[in-house]
């Protein structure tokens, strides 16, 4: 009887030996020994750099033990050996440590630079290198001797430029290194470097002042990348050429200037390539202490104009005369004063007329001023001033009118101003001249007026005039200074006891009214003299107002006087008639008239010759047209009139 059994292999192989050399110089290292055992037989071998067990199905397993292993990199490395069986069991590993040294130097594969340059720092147009592992450093030198990996100057990337030590034909060598310190052989590039950079003048000084044209140089230094080969000092700010005369191989210690005064020296340097530096400058003031000499000066002895000809004026100087001046002062002018001219003046204008002295001076560029020569001239003033402007307002309301403009000029100065109403030129000695232009003028009267402005000078010359027309309107009213009348009167016509008035010109009219309203100048009733009486319009308490006017029609304010007028004059019956006969007691009145200064206020007819009282019955305000007698027969009627004051007239009678 038989039985089938499936036996599962669960036992992994055992790596029994695994060794490799302790050191190597190649990433592919020989395996000195690699053995393994398994109950069912070893079916695969694998070496890794990982301590993690691989899977039986991973790539890389071989049916026989490998004899070499290629590491992933240089340095201290560990390899792990594994075995597996047909059941896929993977052994534990054995390991071997190997130090792999990189002994292969990089290779510079390309290196180029421009064949010519004008700067010591030249671009690198190409620099590439390769290594079996990696290039870790790049270096360019001017020496064909290989540098050490530890030398200064290596860079982690290929440099983009290189600075040479000098100008001319130069060779650069490019090198590469790796992390193991292996240095490549070099590639080279040849560059011809032309010097286009000028030297730099770094210091240049001279004393600030000197008294000699030859002045010491207290400092002059310069630097140049290719060296300084020449030094030069000039008085021009224009750069010299490298081939100009005067360059010296060493710095000059003095410079001789071309003249005195404020001078500027410019220091220059050049190099072997002919490049000329920009300059540094130093300013020196070289003092000329010798003043010019005025050798001749004359003017005419007399003149009639302030501007007088200079008949001669000459001067000399150790260098050159740079300025000429004529003054009226014996005090030497300063070289910086206004008025100096570069040429000899041919005229001079004096400040005034009379006996005058002119002094001439010369100066040089250093500011030295000569002593003077003088000339005396007597100048007679024959030129009158000129009134240049004169104006007044076109209209005014006062005789004193403002002068809005009055200016005059004269070569010797205006000494007097005058305004007149006459077009005839005044004399210089006339009264009224003032030292300054008047600001007002008082006319002689109102109306259209003309003022004439004049100017004179110290010599008594009187100008022509300028005129201004002014219309002066009188706007000032008269003033009633006194007005009085008796406090009481018995007549409507009352005496004026006083009536006076004044005006800025003249009172031309007088008027008395009973109204407080100012009358117009053209109203009726004005009189040329003050009235001595005034007739009121009625009796009672009355007020009279006194007024004055002038020729311009200005009317004064009034003064008033109060009068109480009592009526004591009875009316007068001027006519009274009736028919001589009648047949009725009531008879018509054919005429009855009466007058009174204050007005008739009542009419009465009686049969009695005795005057009635003003208060009796029967008075009527109008003239009666009939009268009724008391009986028949020969009758007499009496007509009476009364006024408001109660005065009763005498009677007129009529027989019927």
Structural domain boundaries in the chain: 14-100, 107-193, 200-286, 293-379, 386-472, 479-565, 572-655
Fold (topology level) of 572-655:
Immunoglobulin-like (2.60.40)
Burial class from Cβ neighbours inside 10 Å (0-12, 13-18, 19+) for residue 386 reads: middle
Mean pLDDT of 421-439: 97
Which fold is adopted by the domain 200-286?
Immunoglobulin-like (2.60.40)
Could you please state the CATH topology (level 3) that the domain comprising 386-472 is classified under. Answer: Immunoglobulin-like (2.60.40)
Task: Check residue 591 and give its pLDDT.
Answer: 97
Q: Which fold has domain 293-379?
A: Immunoglobulin-like (2.60.40)
For 14-100, the fitting CATH number among 3.40.47.10, 3.30.1370.100, 2.60.40.10, 3.40.50.150 is 2.60.40.10
Question: In the predicted model, what is the mean pLDDT of residues 297-309?
Answer: 95
Mean pLDDT calculated for residue range 570-576? 96
Please identify, in words, the CATH class of the domain defined by 479-565: mainly beta
**pLDDT computed for residue 366 by the predictor:** 82
Taking 70 as the threshold, does the pLDDT of residue 367 lie above it? yes
Q: Which CATH superfamily hosts domain 107-193?
A: Immunoglobulins (2.60.40.10)
CA 308 vs CA 298, 303, 311, 345, 394: distances in Å: 11, 7, 9, 11, 44
pLDDT at 481: 98
* In the predicted structure, residue 186 carries a pLDDT above the cut 90: yes
pTM flag (> 0.75): no
Residues 512, 526: Cα–Cα separation, whole Å: 8
| % of the chain at pLDDT higher than 70 | 100
pLDDT for residue 356:
97
> Using one digit for the tens of pLDDT, what is the confidence trace for 240-282?
999 999 999 999 999 999 988 899 999 999 999 899 999 999 9
Does position 1 have pLDDT exceeding 70, yes or no? no
Count of helix runs (H) and strand runs (E) in the chain: 0, 55
Q: Is the pLDDT of residue 9 over 70?
A: yes
- Characterize the bridge pairing of strands 559-565 and 540-550: antiparallel
CA angle centred on 327, ends 259 and 319, rounded to 5°: 15
Task: Give the mean model confidence (pLDDT) for residues 374-399.
Answer: 95
Domains 200-286 and 386-472 share a fold: yes
CA distance 549 to 291: 85
Distances (CA, A) of 406 to 69, 432, 454, 461: 126, 16, 9, 18
User: For the chain, what is the mean pLDDT?
Assistant: 95
Mean pLDDT of 346-352: 94
Q: Residue 6: is its pLDDT beyond 80?
A: no
What is the chain's alpha carbon radius of gyration, rounded to the nearest angstrom? Answer: 72
The answer to whether 15 and 65 have CB atoms below 8 angstroms apart is no
pLDDT band at 460 (very low <50, low <70, confident <90, very high): very high
Name the DSSP letter for residue 217.
-
pLDDT tens profile 585-596? 999 999 999 999
How far is it, in rounded angstroms, from Cα 218 to Cα 97?
A: 76
Q: Is the pLDDT of residue 288 over 90?
A: no
Strand blocks (E) in 392-505: 395-396, 400-402, 405-409, 414-420, 440-442, 447-457, 466-472, 479-484, 488-489, 493-495, 498-502
């Amino acid at each position: 009887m038989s039985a089938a059994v499936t036996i599962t292999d669960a036992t992994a192989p055992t790596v029994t030996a695994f060794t490799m050399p302790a050191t190597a110089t190649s990433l592919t290292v020989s395996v000195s020994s690699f053995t393994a055992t398994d109950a069912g037989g070893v079916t695969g071998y694998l070496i890794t750099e990982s301590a993690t067990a691989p899977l039986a199905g991973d790539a890389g397993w071989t049916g026989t033990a490998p004899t070499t292993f290629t590491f992933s990199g240089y340095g201290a490395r560990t390899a792990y050996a594994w075995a597996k069986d047909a059941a896929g069991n993977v052994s534990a590993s054995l390991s071997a440590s190997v130090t792999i040294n990189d002994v292969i130097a990089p290779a510079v594969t390309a290196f180029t630079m421009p064949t010519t340059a004008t700067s010591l720092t030249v671009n690198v147009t190409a620099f590439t290198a390769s290594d079996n592992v990696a290039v870790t450093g790049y270096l360019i030198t001017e020496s064909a001797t290989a540098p050490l990996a530890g030398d200064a100057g290596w860079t982690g990337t290929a440099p983009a430029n290189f600075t040479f030590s000098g100008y001319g034909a130069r060779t650069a060598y490019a090198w590469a290194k790796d992390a193991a310190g292996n240095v490549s052989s070099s590639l080279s590039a040849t560059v011809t470097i032309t010097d286009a950079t000028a030297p730099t003048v770094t210091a240049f000084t001279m004393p600030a002042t000197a008294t000699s044209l030859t002045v010491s140089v207290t400092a002059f230094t310069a630097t140049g990348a290719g060296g300084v080969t020449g030094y030069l000092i000039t008085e021009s700010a224009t750069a010299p050429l490298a081939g100009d005369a005067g360059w010296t191989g060493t710095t000059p210690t003095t410079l001789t200037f071309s003249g005195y005064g404020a001078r500027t020296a410019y220091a220059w340097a050049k190099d072997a390539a002919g490049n000329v530096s920009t300059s540094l400058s130093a300013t020196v003031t070289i003092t000329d202490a010798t003043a010019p000499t005025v050798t001749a000066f004359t003017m005419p002895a007399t003149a009639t104009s302030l501007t007088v000809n200079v008949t001669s004026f000459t001067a000399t100087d150790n260098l050159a005369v740079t300025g000429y001046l004529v003054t009226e002062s014996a005090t030497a002018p300063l070289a910086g004063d206004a008025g100096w001219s570069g040429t000899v003046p041919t005229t001079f204008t004096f400040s005034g007329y009379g006996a005058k002295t002119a002094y001439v001076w010369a100066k040089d560029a250093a500011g030295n001023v000569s002593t003077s020569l003088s000339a005396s001239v007597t100048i007679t003033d024959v030129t009158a001033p000129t009134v240049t402007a004169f104006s007044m307002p076109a209209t005014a309301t006062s005789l004193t009118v403002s002068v809005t403009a009055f200016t005059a000029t004269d070569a010797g100065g205006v000494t007097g101003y005058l305004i007149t109403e006459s077009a005839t030129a005044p004399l210089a000695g006339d009264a009224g001249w003032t030292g300054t232009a008047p600001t007002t003028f008082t006319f002689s009267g109102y109306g259209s007026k003309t003022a004439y402005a004049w100017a004179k000078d110290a010599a008594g010359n009187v100008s022509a005039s300028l005129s201004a027309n002014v219309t002066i309107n009188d706007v000032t009213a008269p003033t009633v200074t006194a007005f009085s009348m008796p406090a009481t009167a018995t007549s409507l016509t009352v005496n004026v006891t006083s009536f006076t008035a004044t005006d800025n010109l003249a009172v031309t009219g007088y008027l008395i009214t009973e109204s407080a309203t100012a009358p117009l100048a053209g109203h009726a009733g004005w009189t040329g003299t003050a009235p001595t009486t005034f007739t009121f319009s009625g009796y009672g308490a009355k007020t009279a107002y006194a007024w004055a006017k002038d020729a311009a029609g200005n009317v004064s304010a009034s003064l008033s006087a109060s009068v109480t007028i009592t009526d004591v004059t009875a009316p007068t019956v001027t006519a009274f008639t009736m028919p001589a006969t009648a047949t009725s007691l009531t008879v018509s009145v054919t005429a009855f008239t009466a007058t009174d200064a204050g007005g008739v206020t009542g009419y009465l007819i009686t049969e009695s010759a005795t005057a009635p009282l003003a208060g009796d019955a029967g008075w009527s305000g109008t003239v009666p047209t009939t009268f009724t007698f008391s009986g028949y027969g020969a009758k007499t009627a009496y007509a009476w009139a009364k006024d408001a004051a109660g005065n009763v007239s005498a009677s007129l009678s009529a027989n019927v």
